[in-house]
Structure 1
């Protein structure tokens, strides 16, 4: 067997390698832009300008990033337990019930700041409930969580179609959506936050759920790295046999981790439902559950990496819309290709450059203080 990778400094593992992967992804994307007859340098400029060049663009970028922070955290906490939860899409979808129902019930009798805690608890409850069954099946029946979470994505989609068409849709309405929430079911925008820097977010739906995402990131860091439960989660993810040998209850760890993951995914629904649309519509998740997988991979499953990775994908969403408007040759499908390249190099091929970088640090180990990894048999 080949020797394992050398232990690299944290700034290399969590900073340099993702940066190199990202640069290569954008270079390849530049070749794709060149093939369709457009200037890749101009396209890159439009991408950055559309995402960060003015207040409204920044507002939209951070709005999209909020969704990806929640789903990235959901995937990451499952990763630490050795679980691949790709059901964030369905968990966020069902979590929308926990947002919509309190808003529908209390928006006329409670102010938003009293409805908001109920919405947080509701979205966490429904998201965790939808992740509980795949977690139970993995822990107690050996059903692989990848398969069950994929299936539950489709079930969630069908369930929400039924609820929005036959249960929650107002009488006389033809659209599969709830009624519009009153003021008590609407989150305030964070225009004041960017106005500190002299920026006007215009019509961007940048709202209070962004701050909630930052708080959730801190809480995930506390749970995973500063609690007994987090230690058990990481132990089980690193070596299930070691966790069992240490007397840890593996089934409980799996179920609790999946519920935490589902709760984080469910909180994603707060941003579009209570923060932008002020009602629940079909397909409000918009693929954020799957983008969360790439965000978690790029962020090395650490909140400090997930936040900038989410902002990067927010930039691709917002800046990509600017490119497709200014450069008609580059369609929205081309932007999806660019996003796919970032996912490819940052996720599936994240170790492509690691052997060369590790060899460099081994060769200069005396100066860098990086020990060479012993060979394994």
Structure 2
């Protein structure tokens, strides 16, 4: 029987091996098509880490992924698959920009607070629709959130063109609604890294505190593990379903606010759903639902995403290869039971050999 320390080490090996296998799979695919994987990965990594600007951009990308990853993770802990993270991020983005453009002259602390608050509420309400339908009518949250994704996409484009502006791009928000931080921008030679990074660190801590130190967090985890036993123990499964989805959507909406007020400073029509929402799901799975793991996973994905742009020019490798690596990592994370099976088999063989001596 595994000790607690061995169990933790085994759990840590899963994401590490998933990442390594993802890179190996990508390398084999590059070799198959005649590309040099060493040059490709070197271009990807050195392109980011040799430049303060691109380090800042990778962290900026990771910041938003932290919120979407945490949003997915809490719903997953409660036993639900929230596919609607992208749509919830989008409605949060809309709400934040809408409020910021409506009250441009408010003091910065007030304007940022209400803009971000509006984004959190919008994301929570959007996810709460699926949570309520699941809790009271037993509908599939997967189907509902997928449909709400596209509803959010088309509703957002309508609001941009018909309410906020007559074109495809809104005005820039005022300086009072910007999340940019002068010294961070200077430090990273003009990147769009912003105070969302500090908000993300605080939220990671609050998420850990909620899930491990509060009764509500315990109930959310308990419902996810066994809803029938939780109900028998006096916990309200319906309440916890809705609560977990509200928090999940609120975190995704917060990511939308950071993306809108920190990265762009405006809102524009979308041709498709933001990839940050779906990549957030991958980040959560790679981080195994642990908030610190999610934070570091988001940094990895930020580096992969930004570094992919260097692969075509410096190594002659299509940047789509980076997407294949990410997809492979997700695959191996999703198939972690195979990795666990191999690890358990290796341990069993080792134990048998010791026993036979």
Equivalents in 1 of 2:65, 2:313: separation in Å?
A: 24
2:89 is the counterpart of 1:101: no
The whole-number CA distance in structure 1 between the counterparts of 2:207 and 2:324 is: 31
- Between the two proteins, the alignment pairs up a number of residues equal to 351
CA shift for structure 1 position 183 = 1.1
Q: TM-score, normalised by structure 1?
A: 0.88
Given candidates 128, 136, 141, the residue that maps to 1:132 is 128
Counterpart position of 1:375: none
Once the two structures are TM-superposed, the CA of residue 272 in structure 1 deviates from its matched residue by 2.3
Deviation at 1:119, TM superposition (A): 2.0
Task: Say yes or no: does 1:220 pair with 2:207.
Answer: yes
For the Cα contact (< 8 Å) 1:68–1:288, is it kept in 2? yes
For 1:78 and 1:28, the matched residues in 2 are separated by 30
Cα offset, 1:12, TM superposition: 1.9
| Residue number in structure 2 paired with 1:358 | 344
Equivalent position to 1:258, from 227, 235, 245: 245
Q: Is the 8 A contact 2:89 2:277 kept in 1?
A: yes
Q: Is the 8 A contact 1:189 1:205 kept in 2?
A: no
Q: How far apart are residue 365 of structure 1 and its match?
A: 7.1
In the alignment, which residue of structure 2 is the partner of 1:369? none
Map of 1:182 onto structure 2: 174
Report if aligned partners of 2:36, 2:315 keep a CA contact under 8 Å in 1. Answer: no
Moved more, 295-304 or 357-366: 357-366
Cα distance change of structure 1 residues 336 and 228 upon mapping to structure 2, 3 Å threshold: same
Asked if 2 retains the 8 angstrom alpha-carbon contact of 1:14 and 1:305, the reply is no
Q: CA deviation at 1:206?
A: 0.4
In structure 1, the residue matched to 2:355 is none
> Separation in 2 of the partners of 1:56 and 1:154?
34
Of 100, 104, 110, which residue of structure 1 is paired with 2:106? Answer: 110
Aligned-residue RMSD, C-alpha: 2.2
8 Å contact kept, 1:91–1:262: yes
Distance in 2 of aligned mates of 1:220 and 1:362: 37
- 2:115 pairs with 115, 119, 126, which one? 119
Check conservation: 1:111, 1:183, Cα contact below 8 A: no
Q: Is residue 74–residue 265 contact of structure 1 (8 Å, CA) maintained in 2?
A: yes
Q: CA deviation at 1:165?
A: 0.9
- Is 2:80 aligned against 1:83? yes
CA contact 1:98–1:122 (8 Å) conserved in 2: yes
Residue 30 of structure 2 aligns with which residue? 33
Q: The residue matched to 2:284 in structure 1 has which SS? A: helix
**Which stretch shifts more, 85-94 or 12-21?**
12-21
Is contact 1:85-1:146 (8 Å) kept? yes
Offset, 1:8 = 7.0
1:18 pairs with 2:15: yes
User: 2:306 is matched with which residue?
Assistant: 318
The structural deviation recorded for 1:228 is 0.6
2-side partners of 1:295 and 1:25: how far apart? 14
Question: Which of these residues, 151, 154, 158, is aligned with residue 155 of structure 1?
Answer: 151
Task: Verify the 8 A CA contact 2:43 2:315 in the aligned structure 1.
Answer: no
1:42-98 Cα distance to aligned partner (Å, 9 max, x none): 111111112222211110110110111010000000011001101000011111132
Q: Residue in 2 aligned with 1:373? A: none
Alignment of 1:330-345 (within 5 A): 330-345=317-332
Secondary structure, aligned partner of 2:337: coil
Q: 1:35 to 1:5 in 2, by over 3 A?
A: farther
1:297 is aligned to 285
Pick aligned residue for 2:47 from 36, 50, 61: 50
Deviation, structure 1 residue 10: 4.6
